[in-house]
Structures are given as C-alpha cells and as structure tokens.
Amino acid sequence: MSASRSTRREFLKQSSLAALAGATLPYAWNSRASFAFQAANERPVIGCIGVGDRWRGGIGPNVFPFGEVAAVCDVDANNVGRGAEQVKNEQGKKGINREVEQHEDYRKILDRKEIDVVTIVTPDHWHSKIAIEAMKAGKDIYCEKPLTLTIDEGKQIIKVLNETKRVFQVGTQQRSEMGNAETPQFFLTAVALVHAGRIGTVKKVTCGINGAPTSEPIPVVPVPKELNWGMWLGQAPLVEYRSGKPSSNPNYPESRTHYEFRWWYEYSGGKMTDWGAHHVDIAQWGIGMDKSGPISVQGTAEHPSPMRDGYATLDDRYNVASKFNVTCQFPNGVEMTITSEGDNGILFEGTEGRLFVNRGKISGKPVEDLKSNPLPEDALVKLYKGKKPGNHMANFFECIKDRTQPISDVYTHHRSMTTCHLANIAIRLGRKIEWDAEKEQIIGDKDAQSFVAREQRKGFEAIA
C-alpha cells in the first residue's frame, strides 16, 4: 500500500470515528472501505473479474467514472487483452496512466490489498464462490444478475454479507433506470403506483420473460487455445467442450460457453433466471413480497432434452426450458404467473385497475391519471431507500461512501431468485412445489429439496 493511500485511510478513520458518536450507522464501521471522493487520487481502486461482452459494453463503461481500474481478469485471454486495452484507453482520456494488470485467476485480484471494489461479470455458476471470497477479502461488490444458481447459494452469500458488512449491489438495473423524459423511472413508478393503491388490491401479476432457444446436437471440438476450460467450468461438472453452428446470438456459435452458457442448467437457469431476475424482482417488490416468498409453485414446460428426475438425459444440446408457464401463489393472496408467452413485461392487475410496464413503456389508467393525480414528490425517493433514483452504478458508489446497502440489495434479490429457482425446480420435476418461506425449505418433497443446493466439483467448493 502506498504511503498516500495509507495516510488517506488513517485520516478517514479518525474523522469517521469522530462523527460516529453523532450518527447511527447501519453497519459496523470499516475505515478501509470508506472514501472521500474529493479528488481523483482519492477514488476507490477497482478490480474487474470477468471482462467479456457484458462488461465491455455495459459494466466497464459505467464503472470508469467512479474509480480507477487497476486489474482485469478473465479465463479467456482474448477478453483479458480487450478489457485491459479498454481500461487503458478510457482512463488515459482522463489523464490516468495507471498500469492495468491482467490475470486469468480471480484470486490474484482478491489478494491485492489496495483494491477496494470488485465487479463480478462472470457466468452465473461462478457468482457465489467469487462473491463470498471477495467479501472475506474485504471488497465491496457489484455483481451481475442473477446472483445465484441455487437457493442455498443465496443463503450462503447472505451469511457472509452479515458477517463482513460489505456493500453489495446486484446488477438488476431495472430498479434504477429505464424510462423516458416524462417518466424517468418506469419500474419504480409502477411499484410506487401499486403501493399507493392506484389499482386497488392486487390480485394477479404476470411476468412475461420470453422463451429460450433450443439447439440440435452440438459437436465436441478442441478447446480454443485462449480459453482455460477447466477454470471456466469451476464448480460445474467436468465435461467436454462443445461448439457448433451459429446461434440466435450473432456474436457466438451454439456452445457451452460465453453468452450461450445461459441455456444449460449446469451454469444458469435459462430465461427463468436470466429475465426472471429482472421482472420477478419488480413484481415481487410491487406486491410486497420482496422479503418473503411464495407458498406454492407449479407449472408446465418444454425442454430440448427429455428430462428424468429433473435432469436432462442428453448432454449434447441446450437443456433449459424453451417454453414454460408457471403459477406462484403468495401468502397475501396474489397469484403470479411467469410465462414465456405474450409481451415481455409485467402486468399488475387489481380490484380497481391494471397497469403494464416493460423497458419501453408504462401504460394503464393509473398512469394516465398521474397528470391529474400525481404521486407524492418523495414517493420514488422513499422507494429508493431515501436516495435520488438514477444511475445504478452511481447508487452503488454512493452507498460505498455511507456504508448502506444499495437499491438492488442481496436480501430482496435472494427472495426474488428463490421464486425463480423454485419455478425451475417445479418444471424440471413436473410437479407442484410447496415452500416454507420462513424456514426457506421445500415442504414434504426430499427429491425437490435436493435441488436447493448443488454438488460442487472438488477444488472449487464455496465455503461460507
């Protein structure tokens, strides 16, 4: 650690402790993770774990204004090189000439004491292990959604978060952004309208999240020389590398890796968790169940591979549900449907009206009535935990300063993901699942309960 950073942190420690007597903080104070943000050299140092397309096109550009990136990491050497070059170019425009270290192993980033913040933009099956180790290493975290591959992983992350008191933002940007000049925050406005009773008592909410692609058999091919396939697999079973014809994504062929990992239960939950992490999150928030969960989940689905006891019988093609229709019953009487059919978006239906919201619009009579009956001026601020709604990454770094949890906190995200995971368990097994949200366990079904966690490949276990 440089002398200047050490001096800065000692100053912050003393000034913060002096102020502590007059303020109530939500977490035990940690001087190492507080920042003044008053000058360029006072900004946090960031390490970026996973620097593929999603990072380069979204997370990276959004993080540059708030800190200095010191290192990038990816198991694909091409991604590492492109990521480092992007950081060098962007920071160079601001006169920042910091050398950007390049790593294949994320632990190299966690070992660097001067790194304060990490972004985790890896495939889903890596999120929990890296996040747990990052928190234990004293880092604050911005992690892409969905945060978990299983329900148990969410419980593990919460355990470590409670122990370490880190600041942790999940990348469900719908909680912060997306709107137009007239309504800057579509989703926040929708939730605020529902909470204000503008559609009466909510009876039903429908989450349209579209279906997933299918594939024909994908051949085994040599692993690309730039990819550490064993490390990419991590906790997942060790299998052969597959890649084939062009996929629905013009940037990648059908395969087990990169963007296409989303269509394999070994690494993701398909559309149920990919888009469910967004829409189920907003729906559950709107109906007041963001700190609880359903009491039962059941549905139907089509899978590219025949399923036996919840597992695909063919290993050479995509295996997540391509089409599905799931019904979740909540203890407050609301019925939630999660479906691959119809418009992408969320439809809230109540005793006195309905409203629809997605990334392109918010509509319905309650929305039209805002012109004559606006929401209270502070409605969105209250919903946004007392902070001004806006940029999702800005909210994260604002919370780093005051040591509060950001708008997409782990606790509510875990509850939303639990609903999504239960939906996948129900359609994989083809039967109704009953859930005890307080004990966080499946009722009366040992086989279904076994899907709450997953076996972790030896040497890659996550220890909470």
Q: Per-residue pLDDT tens for 372-417?
A: 999 999 999 999 999 999 999 999 999 999 999 999 999 999 999 9
**Which of the four pLDDT bands, split at 50, 70 and 90, describes residue 10?**
very low
> Are 271 and 339 a contacting pair, CB within 8 Å?
no
Cβ partners under 8 Å of residue 24, min gap 6? none
More confident call, 324 vs 43:
324
Express each pLDDT in 302-322 by its tens digit.
999 999 999 999 999 999 999
Which tokens belong to 427? 């359609």
- Give the separation between CA 351 and CA 334, rounded to whole angstroms: 12
- Give the separation between CA 255 and CA 321, rounded to whole angstroms: 17
Express each pLDDT in 230-273 by its tens digit.
999 999 999 999 999 999 999 999 999 999 999 999 999 999 99
- Whether 32 shows a pLDDT value over 90: the answer reads no
pLDDT, mean of residues 201-208: 98
High-pLDDT (> 90) share of the chain, %: 90
- Give the separation between CA 220 and CA 316, rounded to whole angstroms: 8
- Whether 16 shows a pLDDT value over 60: the answer reads no
What pLDDT was estimated at residue 42?
Answer: 77
Closest by alpha carbon to 174, among 161, 189, 160? 189
- Whether 144 shows a pLDDT value over 60: the answer reads yes
Q: Quickly tell me which residue has 């100053």 as its tokens.
A: 11
pLDDT, mean of residues 34-43: 51
Could you give the 3-state DSSP secondary structure of residue 237?
coil
**Which of the four pLDDT bands, split at 50, 70 and 90, describes residue 15?**
very low
Closest by alpha carbon to 341, among 298, 283, 302, 289? 302
430: left (phi over 0), alpha (psi -120 to 50) or beta: left
- Whether 19 shows a pLDDT value over 70: the answer reads no
Reduce the secondary structure of 273-305 to three states and give it as a string.
HHCHHHHHHHHHHHCCCCCCCCCEEEEEEECCC
pLDDT, mean of residues 209-217: 97
- Alpha-helical regions (H) of 150-297: 151-164, 186-195, 229-233, 271-274, 276-286
What pLDDT was estimated at residue 14?
Answer: 35
**Which of the four pLDDT bands, split at 50, 70 and 90, describes residue 17?**
very low
What pLDDT was estimated at residue 38?
Answer: 37
Give all domains of the chain, ordered by start, each with its CATH number: 3-175+399-410 (3.40.50.720), 205-345+412-452 (no CATH)
Which DSSP state fits 434?
E
Helical axes 151-164 vs 410-429, angle rounded to 10°: 170
- Whether 107 shows a pLDDT value over 90: the answer reads yes
Please give the mean pLDDT across all residues of the chain: 92
Cβ partners under 8 Å of residue 154, min gap 6? 128, 147, 148, 410, 413, 414, 417, 418
- Whether 210 shows a pLDDT value over 80: the answer reads yes
Which DSSP state fits 148?
-
- Give the separation between CA 335 and CA 39, rounded to whole angstroms: 51
pTM over 0.85: yes
